[in-house]
Amino acid sequence: MSDSASAPEATRCGFMALVGRPSVGKSTLLNRLLGTRISITSAKPQTTRQRITGVLTEGADQFIFVDTPGFQTKYRSALNIRMNQAVRDALAEVDVVVALFDAARHTDADEALLSLLPPGKPVIAVLNKIDLLADKTALLPRLDALSKRRPFAALIPLSAEKGVQLDALKAEMAKHLPMAPWLYPPDELTDRDERFLAAEFLREKIFRLLGDEIPYSTHVVVETFEQEGEQDRARRRIQARVYVERDSQRAILLGHQGQTMKRIATEARQEMERLFGGSVYLVVLVQVKPGWRGDARSLQRLGL
């Protein structure tokens, strides 16, 4: 990439953290802002487990978004402690904080998040999911209550899913971008490599296709990732291992005659082919590893 051809002379570049309680729509918002699905989403809370950066370059501006795990106060496993820490780290590192709230309700986790917001930084409050509000006047008391809690650079009601009011959010974020050289080439989408994204897409399908228990007992590791040929025409051979905590979970994940896993793997492969270009040959193995979530050493070995 030749910088002289692509980067304007006076560029702006800054980090923005997307924070909020589980399921509030952080990853949906990131994908909408980028126009591409790089961060996995599902109706189940705690879908995002590790921070993922999304890069949007428009005109002279480069926004580097940091999508974080949902901040929660209910559970305290080693994994959950690590996930909350990822939120605190992101808040400390960025230039601007985009704090998401649900337009319809305020919970204890929202309160906990409000008290974490750094006093010295611009914080933009987003009230998401306005498409679900039958009565839009219900927004007014929410906006009023939030604005009394701390100073916000702006309060923006929007719908990440429907793409409503995203321009207002972008305009507000742009106001706080520092003058700085771009950190990524303008066509870069994320700091995460294809290996990470492959594991995430597999995890997304597990979150979406299985019930309320299994997704939380599951971790995915990509063991081999081989590529033959050039980017768009490449053929990727990927072997992934899914860890679960019990034999009974392994049976559910595989399904009758392996049908459940087959569907999960097919849908994940299609997502990979769409994002990476080229074809993907995906093999998925399932292994039982009791108690991996509660054990800090296991988490480290699994790269979490």
User: Residues 290, 292, 294, CA angle at the centre, nearest 5°?
Assistant: 115
Rounded to the nearest 10°, the torsion over CA 208, 210, 216, 217 is -140
Q: Counting contacts by CB under 6 A, is residue 19 touching ligand GTP?
A: no
Binding residue for Mg ion, selected from 48, 53, 128, 218, defined by CB under 5 A:
48
Binding residue for ligand GTP, selected from 12, 14, 26, 199, defined by CB under 6 A:
26
Phi, psi dihedrals of residue 43, rounded to the nearest 5°: -75, -10
Least CB distance to Mg ion at residue 123 (A)? 19
Binding residue for ligand GTP, selected from 12, 37, 51, 129, defined by CB under 6 A:
129
Size of interface with ligand GTP, in residues (CB under 6 A): 25
Query: 11 touches which of Mg ion, ligand GTP, none (CB within 5 to 8 A by kind)?
Result: none
Binding residue for ligand GTP, selected from 14, 54, 70, 122, defined by CB under 6 A:
70
Which residue's Cβ lies closest to ligand GTP? Answer: 70
Residues recorded for the chain: 304
Shorter beta-carbon distance to ligand GTP: residue 170 or 237: 170
Shorter beta-carbon distance to ligand GTP: residue 12 or 142: 142
Least CB distance to ligand GTP at residue 300 (A)? 22
Residues 6+ apart with CB under 8 A from 293: 77, 78, 79, 216, 217, 219, 245, 299
- What residues numbered 211-240 form the site for Mg ion, per CB under 5 A? none
The answer to whether 82 and 299 are in contact (CB under 8 A) is: yes
Beta bridge partners of 12: 61, 179
3-state secondary structure of 148: helix
Cβ atoms within 10 Å, residue 27: 26
Compose the 27-56 pattern: x for residues touching ligand GTP by CB under 6 A, - for all others.
xx------------xxx-xxxx--------
Q: Counting contacts by CB under 6 A, is residue 298 touching ligand GTP?
A: no
Shorter beta-carbon distance to ligand GTP: residue 31 or 298: 31
Compose the 140-159 pattern: x for residues touching ligand GTP by CB under 6 A, - for all others.
-------------------x
Q: What whole-number distance in Å separates Cα of residue 62 and Cα of residue 18?
A: 16
Continuous H helices in 117-165: 139-149
Q: Which two tokens stand for residue 21?
A: 């309680």
Binding residue for ligand GTP, selected from 57, 80, 84, 128, defined by CB under 6 A:
128
Compose the 17-36 pattern: x for residues touching Mg ion by CB under 5 A, - for all others.
---------xx---------
Query: 54 touches which of Mg ion, ligand GTP, none (CB within 5 to 8 A by kind)?
Result: none
Continuous H helices in the chain: 3-6, 26-34, 78-93, 108-116, 139-149, 166-175, 194-209, 247-254, 259-276, 296-301
Which residues contact ligand GTP by CB under 6 A? Answer: 20, 22-28, 41-43, 45-48, 69-70, 128-129, 131-132, 159-162
